[in-house]
Chain A
Amino acid sequence: MDPLTWTGSIGTVLNPIFLAVVVLFVFTLITQFLLSFTAPPPSITVNPDGSAMSTGGTLGMMGRVNSYLFLGILAMIGVYMFSGLVTPYGTGGIFGEIGARLLPVWIALIVTFVLSITFKRKLGLYGKLFDSMIGMIGFAIVMFWVFVAVFVAFDLVVTHNPLDQISGMKNKVPGTPMSSAGDEGAYPHYLLGGDNLARDVFSRVMQGSQIVLIIAPAATLFAFMVGITLGLPAGYYGGKFDTVLSFIANLVLAFPVILLFFLLVTPEIRAAGIDFGFYYWRVPTILASILFIFPLVFLVLLWNSRFFTQPSKNILYIGLTVLIGGYLYLALAWDADPFGMISIDQNVLIVFVAVVFVNSPTVFRIVRGLVLDIKTRDYVAAGQTRGEGAWYIMLWEILPNARGPLIVDFCLRIGYTTILIGTLGFFGLGLESESPDWGTTINAGRRLLGIYPHPAIAPALALMTLVLGLNLLADGLREESLKD
Chain B
Amino acid sequence: MADETYDGPILEIDKLSISFFTRLREIPAVMDFSCTVRPGEAMGLVGESGCGKSTVALGVMQDLGVNGRIVGGSIKFKGQDLGAMTPDELRNIRGSEIAMIYQEPMASLNPAMRIGKQLMEVPMIHFGTSEKEAYNRALEVVTDVKLPDPKRILNSFPHQLSGGQQQRIVIAMALMSKPSLLILDEPTTALDVTVEAAVVELVKDLGKKYGTSMLFISHNLGLVLETCDRICVMYSGETVETGKISDVFDEMQHPYTQALFRSIPLPGADKNARPLIAIPGNFPLPHERPQGCNFGPRCDYFEAGLCDQTQIDMYPVESGDRHETRCLKFKEIDWNAPIDVGKQTEKPAPGDVVLKIDNLKKYYEVAASALFGGANKKVVKANETLSFEARESETLAIVGESGCGKSTFAKVLMGLETATDGQILLNNSEIQDTPIEDRDTKTISNVQMVFQNPFDTLNPSMTVGRQIIRALEIFGIGETEQDRENRMLELLDLVKLPREFAGRMPRQLSGGQKQRVGIARAFAGDAKIVVADEPVSALDVSVQAAVTDLLMEIQRENKTTLLFISHDLSIVRYLSDRVMVMYLGHVVELGTTDQVFQPPYHPYTEALLSAVPIADTSIEKQHIVLEGDIPSAMNPPPGCPFQTRCRWKDQVPGGLCDKEVPPVRILDGNHQVKCHLSDDILARMEPVIKIAAE
Residues of B within 8 A of A310 (CB): 473, 481
Give the contacting residue for B448; candidates A50, A386, A403; CB below 8 A: A386
Interface size class of B (residues with CB under 8 A): 35 or more
**A50, A377, A382, A401: which has the most chain B beta carbons within 10 Å?**
A382
Q: Say yes or no: B71 contacts A50, CB within 8 Å.
A: yes
Q: Say yes or no: A387 contacts B476, CB within 8 Å.
A: no
Give the contacting residue for B473; candidates A309, A384, A403; CB below 8 A: A309
The docked-state distance in angstroms from the alpha carbon of A309 to that of B475 is 9
**Is residue A251 within 8 Å, beta carbon to beta carbon, of the partner chain?**
no
Residues of A within 8 A of B448 (CB): 385-386
Give the contacting residue for A387; candidates B21, B26, B444; CB below 8 A: B444
Give the contacting residue for A379; candidates B69, B416, B459, B475; CB below 8 A: B459
**Is residue B672 within 8 Å, beta carbon to beta carbon, of the partner chain?**
no
Give the contacting residue for B521; candidates A309, A377, A382, A403; CB below 8 A: A382
Q: Contacts A397-B459, A400-B461, A400-B462 given; indicate if A131 touches B23 (C-beta within 8 A).
A: yes
**Is residue B518 within 8 Å, beta carbon to beta carbon, of the partner chain?**
yes
**Is residue A432 within 8 Å, beta carbon to beta carbon, of the partner chain?**
no
**Is residue B569 within 8 Å, beta carbon to beta carbon, of the partner chain?**
no
Q: Say yes or no: A385 contacts B459, CB within 8 Å.
A: no
Q: Say yes or no: B21 contacts A51, CB within 8 Å.
A: yes
Give A375-426 interface residues, CB cut-off 8 Å to B: 377-379, 381-382, 384-388, 396-397, 400-401, 403
Give the contacting residue for A51; candidates B23, B26, B449, B461; CB below 8 A: B26
The docked-state distance in angstroms from the alpha carbon of A310 to that of B456 is 28
Q: Say yes or no: A309 contacts B476, CB within 8 Å.
A: yes
**Is residue A46 within 8 Å, beta carbon to beta carbon, of the partner chain?**
yes
Interface residues of A, CB < 8 Å — how many?
Answer: 23
Give B186-210 interface residues, CB cut-off 8 Å to A: none
**Is residue A52 within 8 Å, beta carbon to beta carbon, of the partner chain?**
yes
Q: Say yes or no: A381 contacts B462, CB within 8 Å.
A: no
Q: Say yes or no: B474 contacts A52, CB within 8 Å.
A: no
Residues of B within 8 A of A451 (CB): none
**Is residue B439 within 8 Å, beta carbon to beta carbon, of the partner chain?**
yes
Q: Say yes or no: B451 contacts A309, CB within 8 Å.
A: no
Q: Say yes or no: B459 contacts A387, CB within 8 Å.
A: no
Q: Contacts A52-B21, A52-B69 given; indicate if A388 touches B474 (C-beta within 8 A).
A: yes
**Is residue B414 within 8 Å, beta carbon to beta carbon, of the partner chain?**
yes
The docked-state distance in angstroms from the alpha carbon of A396 to that of B23 is 32
Q: Say yes or no: B452 contacts A378, CB within 8 Å.
A: yes
The docked-state distance in angstroms from the alpha carbon of A443 to that of B444 is 64
Residues of B within 8 A of A254 (CB): none
Residues of A within 8 A of B548 (CB): none
* Chain B 433-452 interface mask (CB, 8 Å, partner A; 1/0): 00011010100110011011
Q: Say yes or no: B449 contacts A385, CB within 8 Å.
A: yes
Give the contacting residue for B461; candidates A46, A381, A384, A401; CB below 8 A: A401
Q: Say yes or no: A44 contacts B473, CB within 8 Å.
A: no
**Is residue B542 within 8 Å, beta carbon to beta carbon, of the partner chain?**
no
Q: Say yes or no: A385 contacts B474, CB within 8 Å.
A: no
Residues of B within 8 A of A378 (CB): 451-453, 456-457
The docked-state distance in angstroms from the alpha carbon of A381 to that of B439 is 16
Give B493-528 interface residues, CB cut-off 8 Å to A: 518, 521, 525
**Is residue B320 within 8 Å, beta carbon to beta carbon, of the partner chain?**
no
Query: Shortest beta-carbon distance, B214 to chain A, in Å?
Result: 30
The docked-state distance in angstroms from the alpha carbon of A46 to that of B26 is 12
Q: Say yes or no: A384 contacts B71, CB within 8 Å.
A: no
Query: Shortest beta-carbon distance, B291 to chain A, in Å?
Result: 17
Q: Say yes or no: B456 contacts A379, CB within 8 Å.
A: yes
Query: Shortest beta-carbon distance, A134 to chain B, in Å?
Result: 15
Residues of B within 8 A of A397 (CB): 459
Q: Say yes or no: B444 contacts A386, CB within 8 Å.
A: yes
Q: Say yes or no: B71 contacts A46, CB within 8 Å.
A: yes
Q: Which residue of A lies closest to B524 (CB)?
A: A386
Q: Say yes or no: A379 contacts B441, CB within 8 Å.
A: no
Q: Contacts A50-B71, A378-B453, A385-B449 given; indicate if A401 touches B473 (C-beta within 8 A).
A: no
* Chain A 40-54 interface mask (CB, 8 Å, partner B; 1/0): 000010100011100
Query: Shortest beta-carbon distance, B65 to chain A, in Å?
Result: 13
Q: Say yes or no: A46 contacts B69, CB within 8 Å.
A: yes
Give the contacting residue for A382; candidates B444, B451, B473; CB below 8 A: B451
The docked-state distance in angstroms from the alpha carbon of A50 to that of B456 is 35
Q: Contacts A382-B457, A401-B460 given; indicate if A309 touches B452 (C-beta within 8 A).
A: no
List 6 interface pairs A-B (beta carbons < 8 Å), by A numbering.
Answer: A131-B23, A378-B451, A379-B460, A386-B471, A386-B474, A403-B461
The list of the 3 closest CB pairs from A to B, nearest first, reads A400-B461, A378-B451, A378-B456
Spell out A's residues near B (CB within 8 Å).
Answer: 44, 46, 50-52, 131, 309-310, 377-379, 381-382, 384-388, 396-397, 400-401, 403
9 new A-B contacts at CB < 8 Å, known A387-B444, A401-B460: A378-B456, A379-B457, A382-B521, A385-B415, A385-B436, A385-B448, A386-B445, A386-B474, A396-B462
Spell out B's residues near A (CB within 8 Å).
Answer: 19, 21, 23, 26, 28, 69, 71, 414-416, 436-437, 439, 441, 444-445, 448-449, 451-453, 456-462, 471, 473-476, 481, 518, 521, 525
